[in-house]
A and B are shown apart, each in its own frame.
Chain A
Amino acid sequence: MTARPNTGPAIRVQGLEKSYGELKVLRGVDFDVAPGSIFALLGSNGAGKTTVVRILATLLKADAGTASVNGFDVATQPSDVRELISLTGQFAAVDEILSGRENLVLIAKLRHLKDPGAIADDLLRRFSLTDAGARRVSTYSGGMRRRLDIAMSLIGNPPVIFLDEPTTGLDPEARLEVWETVKGLAGRGTSVLLTTQTLDEAEQLADRIAILHQGRIIVNGTLAELKQLLPPAEVEYVEKQPTLEDVFLAVVGSKK
């Protein structure tokens, strides 16, 4: 890998534009992600979050603007960028026909690492999948699949990880598991770009939050800064009804 001291941001996006025919998905997106931080891109369905991630992951070319990862331009130096990143897409990109362990070994081999088997066993342990390791992924639950998916993304310790809606479609318990995993990543110095539809998730995980709306970043700041933009909180006393999620977690007796 090219050794180049990177003092700038882990991810820098400037003036990014992308259209599909008449439809302008991105109309000039700018943001920076500081090294070792978790940055959440918050937006509703169709806001363009996945398009940003696909451009950064060298899967899609932008119409205008630049994007770089650790100083490497995604358009002109894509193979350098691929050395640095790992993508966890919107749908768990795992091989259903292989076992969990085989999936991990496969990625370790493709990253040309020594002793893929040991790497796989270590990750199975860290993601509580050891018992399921030999089973075909088609028998896994949604949460297990997502955990395996994220474990596959960590192989080779890429310094920058993209997580595209990592908890969409997961039940509350599985979501908490994924959150714990993501928090752990940033603790090890990995830079994470996370997309999500829920403010709750951004609030739980992110150091900075940007809201992507109609192809533009309309707000970008820390949670505290974002909260200042809201109308001042009024103090009201209301009986707090438990949410379905509270009930669910209480009934199933989650660890959290």
Chain B
Amino acid sequence: MATQFFGDTAVLTGRTLRHVTRSVDTIITTAIMPIALMLMFVYVFGGAIDTGSTKYINYMLPGILLITIASGISYTAFRLFMDMTSGIFERFQSMPIARSGVLWAHVLTSMVANVISLVIVVGVAFLMGFRSGAGVPAWLGVAGILLLFTLALTWIAVIPGLSAGSVEGASVFSYPLIFLPFLSSAFVPTATMPGPVRWFAENQPVTSIVNTIRNLFTEQPVGNDIWIALAWCAGILVVAYGFALVTYRRKIA
């Protein structure tokens, strides 16, 4: 049974990966917005933001990476939604295969597509002068946190992908997620924000994740932030996974 699950999931993942490689525009669209934001913040607003001794692009890259993921998962919801409406989802569900493999294929594809977009964005950041003295373990730590964040957000994306009534509905959920880094320590130090906004910024998940990644890049101790960041990611993952499964069961008997 387990070997069948892995075999079927691999075949189905191959299928959805082809959807990504054959519509390269989705990868470019995913990467282009964060890159545009990066250009604007670094070359327009950045000069007015005081980030101490840290170069501004080094300061804001972690937030840009989270925005990249948040915009990337809207395509996960889109691809799943298209499978639901085209009937191919039902075809797979009526076949003698490991049924959950269909969902996992979308989840794995989402991970791969986001990694590609992240690599592109980091590459552009390097061209714009981003530098990090971080060693291999720190880079692995950054990759691990980004992957966990992608996985958690992907399971959020599965919910509208399964249940949306229209294409717009399937992707609109990602807008607040894209916006969340602006209300965090991602672009501006939280100390400059007025009371309630500052309280929100300091206590929402993005800030702890951004701080952790930033500290890893700048070879600073990560302190408590890494545990708060991991707790947020794990918490979001568990809750989103639970809701996604409930939605799935409601759709398919």
Q: Which residues of A contact B (CB under 8 A)?
A: 54, 57-61, 79, 82-83, 85-87, 89-98, 102, 106-107, 109-112, 152
Contacts and interface: CB of A to CB of B under 8 A. Distances in A.
Most buried by A among B8, B86, B87: B87
Contact of A83 (B90, B91, B92, B96): B96
B253 A93 contact: no
A219 to B, nearest CB: 28
Contacts of B8: 110
Interface stretch (B17-25, B128-136, B138-146, B149-157): B17-25
B225 to A, nearest CB: 41
B94 interface: yes
- Chain A contact surface mostly: loop
B15 to A, nearest CB: 6
B127 to A, nearest CB: 32
Given A59-B252, A59-B253, A97-B19, A110 B87 contact: no
B96 A82 contact: yes
B95 A97 contact: no
A97 B88 CA distance: 12
B87 A91 contact: yes
Contact of A110 (B18, B22, B92, B252): B92
18 contacts: A57-B90, A58-B253, A59-B252, A82-B94, A82-B95, A87-B91, A87-B94, A93-B87, A93-B88, A95-B15, A96-B86, A97-B18, A98-B18, A102-B18, A110-B95, A110-B97, A112-B4, A152-B91
B11 interface: yes
Interface residues of B, number: 23
Interface in B86-124: 86-88, 90-97
Contacts of B226: none
A162 to B, nearest CB: 8
B42 interface: no
Most buried by B among A59, A61, A91, A96: A59
Contacts of A111: 95-96
A112 B98 CA distance: 12
B169 to A, nearest CB: 19
A58 B252 CA distance: 9
A94 B95 contact: no
A168 to B, nearest CB: 13
A107 B87 CA distance: 14
A98 B86 CA distance: 13
A92 B91 CA distance: 10
A106 B19 contact: no
B83 to A, nearest CB: 9
B94 A110 contact: no
B11 A109 contact: yes
Contact of B15 (A61, A83, A90, A106): A106
B162 interface: no
A94 B96 contact: no
Contacts of A85: 94
Nearest to B23: A97
B31 interface: no
A106 B11 contact: yes
A49 B221 CA distance: 64
A102 B253 CA distance: 28
